Amino acid sequence: MKELLENVLPYLGIEPEYTEEELKMEETREITVPNLIDMTLDDAKKLLTEQEINFEVDGDGNTIRTQFPPSNEIINYDEKIILYTN
């Protein structure tokens, strides 16, 4: 139910309001997804590791061809970016 509401409420224009204490928790921290398309896999891994962003690689290539979520999307700090290579 929690996941459902987290996904539906923003579409209804209802954004969460957090206290100062809640904003310090990892579950509520947000990041903007960087654009990783056309980067080498090594460069993308380095950037994401430096920014402490979770990621997963799908494919055996050396160049990022697409990613999910897309760049400039705001996600929670504990979410994962999927890098697709070829």
Q: Are strands 74-76 and 30-32 parallel, antiparallel or unpaired?
A: antiparallel
**Helix, strand, or coil (residue 13):** coil
Highest mean pLDDT among 4-8, 29-33, 39-43: 39-43
Q: Which of 2 and 31 is assigned the larger pLDDT?
A: 31
- Look over the chain and give the mean of its residue pLDDT values, rounded to a whole number: 87
Q: What is the mean pLDDT of residues 52-60?
A: 95
Comparing 20-29, 39-48, 64-73, 76-85, which segment has the lowest mean pLDDT? 20-29
pLDDT of residue 33: 96
Q: Report the length, in residues, of the chain.
A: 86
Residues 33/75, Cβ–Cβ less than 8 Å: yes
pLDDT of residue 41: 97
Which residues form the domain of 51? 2-85
pLDDT band at 12 (very low <50, low <70, confident <90, very high): confident
How many domains, the chain? 1
**What DSSP letter does each residue of 18-63 carry, written as one string?**
--HHHHTSTTT-EEEPP--TTSBHHHHHHHHHHTT-EEEEESS-SB
For residue 29, the domain's CATH number is: 3.30.10.20
